[in-house]
Structure formats: C-alpha cells, structure tokens
Structure 1
Amino acid sequence: MRVCIHRGTKQIGGSCIELAHEGVRILLDVGLPLDGEFGDTSLLPPVTQGIAAVIVSHPHVDHYGLLHHLPPGTPVCIGAAARRIIQAAAPFTGQPLPPLDGFDLQHRTPLQIGPFRVTPYLVDHSAYDAYGLLVEAGDKRLFYSGDFRGHGRKGRLFEGFLQHPPSNIDVLLMEGTTLSRLEEDDAFPSEAALEKQLLEQIRATSGLVMVYASAQNIDRVVTLYRACKQAGRTLVIDLYTAAILEATGNDSIPQSFWPGVVLFTPERQRRQIVRLQAFDLLKRHARQRVYREGLQQLAANAVLLFRPLHMEDLVAADVLDGARFIYSQWSGYLADEASQKWLHWLQEAGIEMHQIHTSGHASPSDLQRFARALNPARLVPIHSFSPEKYPQQFDNVEFRQDGEWWDV
C-alpha cells in the first residue's frame, strides 16, 4: 500500500490523501482549504481520473469541499446522516452540491473497495456523523484519525475507542489541530460545562439572548436546547437550522416541532425560500412558526440561534433592549472580513459580546492518549499548523511532505 498526502502535512483544512495498491486508488477526503474558493479548480490535487472511491470522514467543507470537481460517477462513501446534512445545507449556503452516490459508512462495519478493506470508527467531533478510518491492504494497516475530540457529548465513543482500539497499526495519520492553539497540559471545557455557562448567562439576561453558533454543530444545538429548557426559555431557530436538525435522522436531537422550539424565518431567508422554491420544506417545519410580532412578544423568554441574516429583522422587531450576545464558535473567525459587519452591528446597538465555546478537536493530552492506544509503528502528522511539535509529545513520529509518495 502506497500513500500520498496531497495536502495536509503542514496545514489545517483542505485534507486529501491518496492510497494505491494493486493498481487501485482511493481517496480519503477531498477538502477545500480554509482560505479557498469552491470554484478554484487549481486547488484540486492531481487525482481527477481513475479513483475507485472517495471516503469522506465527516461533513465539514475542509474535508469534502472539492468533491464537486471529481468526474461524475465517482463513488463517495460517507455516513448516511453526513450525506443528508450536506444535501440539506447546500441550497442555503450556496456551496456546490457534490455528487454523493456511494456506500454508507457504518460504525465498525468493514467496506471492501477492490483490494482495500476500510473500517469506519464513529468519533466524537463537532461535525455530526464523523469517522476515523482503518484502511487495510497488502498486509498493511493504516489508520486515519480524521477530526476528533474526547470532550463532546459523544465522549464515550472516544473512551470506548481507547479501550478497544484496532491493533498492529503500521501508520497513524493523526490530526493535531490544537497543537498550535494550546499548551501541552491545557484542556478544553466539556459541552456539559458549556451548558452551565450558557444557563448562567441566560438567567442573567432580561431580554433576548442571541447565541451565534453553527447549526451544523449538533452538540452545541443540544447544549443550547438543554440550557433553554432549564431556564424556561424558548429556542428560536431558522429554516436552515431546522433542515440540518431534520437531516440527522435522530429522534433524540431537538427538532422544529419539539416543545420549547419555534421557527422564525427572517426576511432574507424568506427570499431564499422563494428563490429555492422550498415551500414544502417550510411547510414541514412551520407547525410552530412565529413572525416578527410573535418574536417581539417572546423575546424576554427566548434564545435565538443567531445568524447574521437575522440582524435587520431584530432591529425591525425592536427586540434588542436588554439583549445579550454570545459567540460560540472558534475565535479565529472573528478576524474574517465577513465578521466585521455583525461585529459593527453589535457595537452600534451597544451590545457586548460574550464568548462561550469549546473546540471540536482533541486537546494535546487526548491526542497523546489516542496515539498511545493505537501504538503505531509510525505516526505521521496531518491537519496541523504545528507538525514540528509532534516529536515532543508522541513516539515514532515520521514527517512527510505534501505530494510525496511513500510506502506503508
């Protein structure tokens, strides 16, 4: 089995790994770089022809965002819920909808693709339906960690994996996102800890609470719903969020029709609905819909899952007196040009921003536990801006370069 990390040995985002054996080639992820554009074909590694299948570890664009450039008919293996989430999100986000026909990944259920045997392992991550991947071919065993953590609402998956990991790993391709963000002994708060912090902030607020979090961070939506329920407040979501939650197919995930949840479609989204002809989708989720007047009446007892397209409606509904704003995403996004408009809007409204967040990636200490459990013959850094830190924390580290072919 031969390996080429086309992109990822020295950066976060844009992950793409090619494996070859007995004339058959597969890809693990075909991601869009964090600063890349979907239409930029120059970002696609030289892999467009002859790929037997693409295995996508999870539904984040830095792992699947260049799929639409591959030839039609290329099989895409991904979790069933992850597939539905990508399909549900694309019309609202403007992301190209890639071809997604292929096998579904299922936890610890092997999949045979020519000479490759691929076994997915469901992991704890901020993306729903995320997997690490064991790939076997030619009597060699490679494990690709994908993106993972141990402090989310699926932390039991992480602990269970450590207790029963696959054995005899020749190569571990392991993400190290947090090595450029945390010191070795630092740790992230859990989602349960965030729930308590959010509850305190909600109870300390007389008006509307706005929480800016990704609708695709399902753990965070669950955390927010649980905090709302304890505070006796109603969670307000938009149609995009309702569609993502529905796409999980999980009855234990909050939905638009649950008690304590209402749907509010801001004006900009109403125009989207008309353009997309998404009236059936709206009808499915409109059972508990409120309009501006209803939002105004509800504001003092509501928590809004905020998106920038809400700004005009919130001003028009006159619901900003006594409001509180909580930012619950990676702080690095605050430097983006797109964030400046809503940051200025907050400043103009005289609303202070509070940050309550935890990472979707494993802390350095959990990365060490993960590496020890797998005990690979070689550990190759990937998905990190700080690969030089790996030898300080892990055994058997071996550096590779983007575009370099090597043997497992």
Structure 2
Amino acid sequence: MQIRIHRGTQEIGGTCIELEAAGKRLLLDLGLPLDGDVEDDGIHPKIEGLAGSPDLLALILSHGHVDHWGLAHLAGPNIPVALGAATHRILQAAAPFVPRPYLPAQPVEFTGGTPLTFGPFTVTPNLVDHSAYDAYALEVEAGGCRLFYSGDVRAHGRKAALFERMVAHPPRNIDVLLLEGSTFGRLNAEHRFPTEHDVEAQFVDIFQRTEGMALVAASAQNIDRMVSLYRACKRTGRTLIIDLYAAEVLRATGNANIPQSDWPNMAVYVPQYQRVRIKQSGRFDLLEPHKPQRIFGEDLKARAATSAFLFRPAMLPDLDRAECLTGARAVWSQWDGYLKQPRGEALCAELEKRQIPLEHAHTSGHAAISDLQRLAKAVGPKMLVPIHTFEAHRFPDFFDNVTVRRDGEWWSARTQSESSLAS
C-alpha cells in the first residue's frame, strides 16, 4: 500500500489522505483548511482524476466536521462517498440552513465495526469519542498492509468508554498509525481536559448565578454539548430554548437518548433569519415536527429568568425586540480562539454594549497528549506518522517509531527495514 497525505502533516484541518494498492486508489477525508476559502483553487489538493476516474474507488469521511469534508464537493458525482449513517442524516438536516450545504451524490452509509470493501481495500470504521457526533477512526487493509487512521479522537467526552475500549482492544498488526496531534503546541504533556460532565457542572453554576436569560453560544452539532446543556437546564429548573436548525440536527441523530424538542424542559424558537429562509425555500414542512413546542418572540421576556437560550450572534436583533436581556449572561461554549477572530471580536463588542457579561464553559474535542500516548502504546504500530498537527516535530519526544512525512509525498506502508527485506 502506498500513502500520500495531501494536507495534515503541517497543519490542523483540511485533512486529506490518498491510498494506492493494486492500481486502485482510495481517499480518506477531503477537508477544508481552517482558514480556507472553498473558491480558492490554490488549496484544492492535487489528486489525479478527482472529478472522476475509474481507479479512484471511493472517498471515506471520518466524521462531520468541515475540516474533514469541506472540499468533498470536488469529488465527481460518480465517486461513492462513504460516511456514518448518522453523519449523513445530520448533513441532510443542516442543508436547508447553511450557506454551502454538502450532500454526496452517491452516499454509502456505514456503522461502526462493519467492514466496507472497495476493490483491494477493506475499510473498517471504529466509532470514537469526539465532539462531532458519529465520528470514526478508520482501519484500512490492502496489499498485505494494515493502516489505522485515528481521525479526530478524545477520551474525555460522553463517549469516553469508546476510547477505553479501543485501548483495551486495539487493532492488531498495524503497519502505519496516522495519529492526530491537535493538542500539541496548545498544552503541556501533563495537562488534562475537563470532561463533559465538568462542563455540565460549569453550566449549572453559571445558570444558578444568572438572574435573567443564559445565552449559550455552542455548536448544535456538538451533540455531547447539547446533552450537557440540557442536563444542566433540568438540574436548575430552566427550559432549553433551541432554534429550528438545532431541533432538526438533534432529530437527525436518530438516538432516543439524545434530547429532542418534545422532551420536558425544551422549547423551539424560530429566529427571524430562519423564518425568512423557510419562506424563501418553501420548507414549511420543517416546522411540523416541532409545532407543539414552538414559542414566539412575545414569549421570551416572561421566560427569560427560567431559560437557557442556544445562541448565535444573528439572533441578537430578535432578543433586543423581545426586550428579554435584562439580567442576561452569555456563555461561550466553543474554542476560545474564535473570539479572537473578527466575528468573535464583534460579538464581544455587542455583548459589552448591552452590558451582558461573558463566561466560558468548554472542553476540547481532541485527546490530551497522555491519552494519545496510551492509544499509540496499545496499537503498537511499526510506523507512527503525525497528522492533523502543527507540531509534528515534537512527536518523537512522546512516541516510538515516529516517521515525520511531508504533504504531497508518496511513501510505502512498509517500514524501511521491511522494504529492504522485500527487495
């Protein structure tokens, strides 16, 4: 098996891996760089026959974050795109609400533990703990070689048991481990992240100290966070108010254990910009499943002191008109780096103008270095290659059998000693 990492050996985001065996090829992820523009041809990976080629058999998506699928539209309509079944449903649910929706023309849905076969490649997805729902590590076998791609993984979310299970029962006889290293350069090796249960406790504390409405800025697709937020609302007697987009994403999980709009302590508010979009698209059917739980602008003021509102900056005009921000407190529940970007700075200015204090309650979607070490030790690969990291040069200080690769170079899944024996 030959391997080429198009992007990821020197940066976080925009991940794309090309594999070749027996004259056939396979892609693992096709992401948009974190600061990339989809219209910029200069960031498009140079993959021969990406728009359509008989030897390019499929694109496999590890999970539903844009930095792993944001350039998938470049793959031709005849190329099968394999992705988790729930990931596919969430992309479908998000499509009416986002400016650049993506839905594969030839989707192949998978679930954890069920192998897929594409020509000489056998791909086994392994469900992992990550801030994206339905995320997978990918085990690929071809040409007598075995590769394990971690995707994005962590050990401190609500599905932490999946990580512990993988460490206890790792894939065997792995020639190459492509291991993500998002946390390198962001924290020291001894650092431990808060768990999602810790984030829930932070929400409880903040809600108890908030006289008015709690405005929580969090991603609706971070399902673990939605669970933490809902549980904190129940514990403090608040109602979680979500928008139509979030309600549809939660419904798309298909998981009876995930909060839904018709659960107690839940309500749905459709902001003005979503009402306009629904009217323009004629998608009034999206409202039907949530009608019994729907509330309106005139309801917000009376509910403010007993509510947590899943918040986006575009909703501020609605909240101003509703006059429901007296005693409000905002909670940033995403990566704090976004607040240093222009839109984040603008939000902070808007909150300050309204005298709304801002607090933080968040944890990483990526594994601590010590957890990555546990995973690597359990897998015991013949070669460990850093990916999804700005700090590949630091890996030899923490792992065995590290080989640092460069974007765009082809290399063999066999170790150098094995290659010498074979020749």
TM-score interval, smaller chain: over 0.9
Q: Which residue in 1 is equivalent to 2:43? A: 43
CA contact (8 A) 2:14 2:33 kept: yes
In the aligned structure 2, how far is the partner of 1:109 from the partner of 1:77? 12
| Aligned position for 1:24 | 24
The alignment partner of 2:221 has SS state of: coil
Cα separation, 2, equivalents of 1:280 and 1:41: 37
Query: Matched residue of 1:93: which SS?
Result: coil
Give 4+ residue runs of structure 1 displaced > 3 Å after superposition. none
- Distance between the aligned counterparts of 2:114 and 2:195, measured in 1? 29
- Secondary structure of residue in 2 paired with 1:259: coil
> Could you tell me the percent identity over the aligned residues?
52
Query: Is the alpha carbon distance of 1:175 and 1:100 closer, same or farther for their aligned partners in structure 2, counting shifts above 3 Å?
Result: farther
Counterpart residue number, 1:69: 74
Alignment of 1:241-390 (within 5 A): 241-390=246-395
Q: CA deviation at 1:102?
A: 2.9
2:158 is the counterpart of 1:188: no
- Mapped to 2, the partners of 1:40 and 1:257 lie a distance apart of 42
User: What is the TM-score with the length of structure 2 in the denominator?
Assistant: 0.95
Residue of structure 2 in register with 1:126 after alignment: 131
Tell me which amino acid in the other structure corresponds to 1:174: L
Q: Tell me, which stretches of 5 or more residues in structure 2 are unaligned?
A: 414-423
- Counterpart of 1:231 in structure 2 is 236
Q: In structure 1, what is the Cα distance between the partners aligned to 2:403 and 2:285?
A: 53
**What is the aligned counterpart of 2:144 among 119, 129, 139?**
139
For structure 1, which runs of at least 5 residues remain unmatched after alignment? none
For 1:207, the equivalent position in structure 2 comes to 212
Query: Which one is further off, 280-289 or 228-237?
Result: 280-289
Q: What is the CA–CA distance in structure 2 between the aligned matches of 1:347 and 1:204, rounded to whole Å?
A: 19
Distance 1:276 1:363 in 2: 43
1:157–1:100 CA distance, 2 compared to 1 (3 A): farther
CA apart distance, 1:246: 0.9
**CA-CA distance at 1:100 after TM superposition:** 4.7
Looking at structure 2, the residues matched to 123 and 211 of structure 1 have their Cα atoms a distance apart, in angstroms, of 26
Contact preservation (8 Å) 1:24, 1:114:
yes
Report the TM-score, using the length of structure 1 for normalisation.
0.98
Post-superposition Cα deviations, 1:358-384, rounded to whole Å, max 9, x if no partner, equal: 000000110111111101011000000
Contact 2:78 2:105 in 1 (8 A): no
Over residues 197-232 of structure 1, what are the superposed CA-to-partner deviations in whole Å (9 max), with x where a residue is unaligned? 110110111110011000000000000000000101
AA aligned opposite 2:131: S
SS at match of 1:168: coil
The count of corresponding residues between Structure 1 and Structure 2 is 408
Query: Relative to structure 1, is the Cα distance of residues 185 and 398 closer, same or farther in structure 2, using a 3 angstrom cutoff?
Result: same
Corresponding letter in the other structure for 1:244:
V
